[in-house]
Amino acid sequence: MAPVTVPAWTRLPALHQPPWPDRGHLDRVLDQLRTMPPLVVEPEVAALRSELAEACAGRAFLLQVGDCAESFAELTAPALDAKAAVYGGLAGGLAAGLGVRTVLIGRIAGQYAKPRTSPVERRGSTELLSFRGENVNGPAFAAADRRPDPDRLLQGYLRAATAVNYLRALAPARSTAPALRYTSHEALLLPYEDALVRAGAGGERYAGSAHTLWVGERTRQLGGAHLEFLARLASPVGCKCGPDLTPAAAVATCQALNPDRLPGRLTLITRMGADRIGRLLPPIVRAVRDAGHPVLWSCDPMHGNPYVCSADGYRAREFDWVLAEVHGYLAVHADAGTWPGGLHLECAAEPVTECVGGPGGPRLAGLRANHRTLCDPRLNPAQAQELVRRTVEWLAPAARPGRRPPVLQAVR
């Protein structure tokens, strides 16, 4: 497929872009990326859109799961094997418990960029640029590591290509659980994403970097560059929806990203916080429902809930808060008569100690035992399995193949 450009976004404000020190260097890297093969191809993207349309109609359930920020160093066959096994097992548990097919999408093969609350990090009297994901700079607190380097975009592309191809080869062998066929990441670094856009057979523009992309809570502004970029893609896309989103803005976002109202095109990923979801989400769900937008609803129960910090500085989230947000999400959709069709989780494939409580979870003082995330805390496999079990427990009485459940009695 021949490269194409999507220039309209360049005329709009683009938030959370790195301060690249050498624009000429960046342009040379982007020119090289425009000549590279896409990481995904149109038939795969079309297949995912069709599966998401089934989930939108209540005949399937989405599980989008993976690392907060991927590490270049952890691109190994054993690591990918473990992720495919853990994520496939979670998807299999949902499918068996709910009686509907699970659409499994990894936060994988490209989740190498992160927005940050502050552009700088301070330790004592030293101030450096914040770590923005390994497509931009390094995690070590050192001046050389934190300098944005455009060559990292090429490194990230090559690592993502390796991961995608390995997962493709691995998928046919996974007959006991859903295979990890589809990839996703946040569409944050717009020059990189734009350089990998390709034209489909009918001239439509597809993201070449992943099967689906989402716009984050910090960059979903109406009239902003990120929403404009995603709006011009034929790929399925998602949008994070935090506590500041109003019902009117939610409807306008749906109109911007899916004006033709195509099922499977748009996933709204709510991240309100356990203490706010019951109050803030209902008017949004009703507004989108009443406007007739066929969205797939998904719940990110991680990011809307506050951090807790150990005495030695490790950050965590409370597993009980994560559970409570999922419960609240299901209850809101029960009242609205809408299908709560997905979960969006940050989960490790190893027994990390990054979220407090739940099965396999540490107390606050035990976070240092295996706290390995590059950015936000992740669930460990035991915690994720418990979350899946509880979701099935709350949702299964109303889930039946082939219809949208009018009410979820289990969570009332």
Angle of CA points 168, 76, 352, to nearest 5°:
110
Residue 360 — very low, low, confident or very high, per pLDDT cuts 50/70/90? confident
Within-domain flag for 1:
no
Residue 243: name the closest of 289, 283, 215, 276 by CA. Answer: 276
Within-domain flag for 90:
yes
Q: What is the pLDDT, as a whole number, of residue 406?
A: 37
Residue 387 — very low, low, confident or very high, per pLDDT cuts 50/70/90? very high
Within-domain flag for 293:
yes
Q: What is the pLDDT, as a whole number, of residue 95?
A: 96
* Domain around 130: 7-411
What whole-number distance in Å separates Cα of residue 90 and Cα of residue 103? Answer: 11
Q: What is the pLDDT, as a whole number, of residue 60?
A: 97
Residue 403 — very low, low, confident or very high, per pLDDT cuts 50/70/90? very low
Arithmetic mean of pLDDT over the chain: 93
Q: Which residues contact 254 (CB under 8 A, 6 or more apart)?
A: 266, 268, 288, 291, 293, 295
Within-domain flag for 149:
yes
The percent of residues in the chain predicted with pLDDT above 70, rounded, is 94
Residue 377 has pLDDT above 90, yes or no: yes
pLDDT digit string, tens, across residues 279-288: 999 999 999 9
The average pLDDT across 366-378 equals: 94
Total number of domains in the chain: 1
Within-domain flag for 154:
yes
Least confident window among 310-314, 376-380, 404-408: 404-408
pLDDT digit string, tens, across residues 52-74: 999 999 999 999 999 999 999 99
Residue 343, Ramachandran bin (φ over 0: left; ψ between -120 and 50: alpha; else beta): beta
Q: What is the pLDDT, as a whole number, of residue 105?
A: 98
Residues 109/183, Cβ–Cβ less than 8 Å: yes
Which CATH number do you get for residue 240? Answer: 3.20.20.70
pLDDT digit string, tens, across residues 79-92: 999 999 999 999 99
Q: Can you read off the two tokens belonging to residue 219?
A: 């960059």
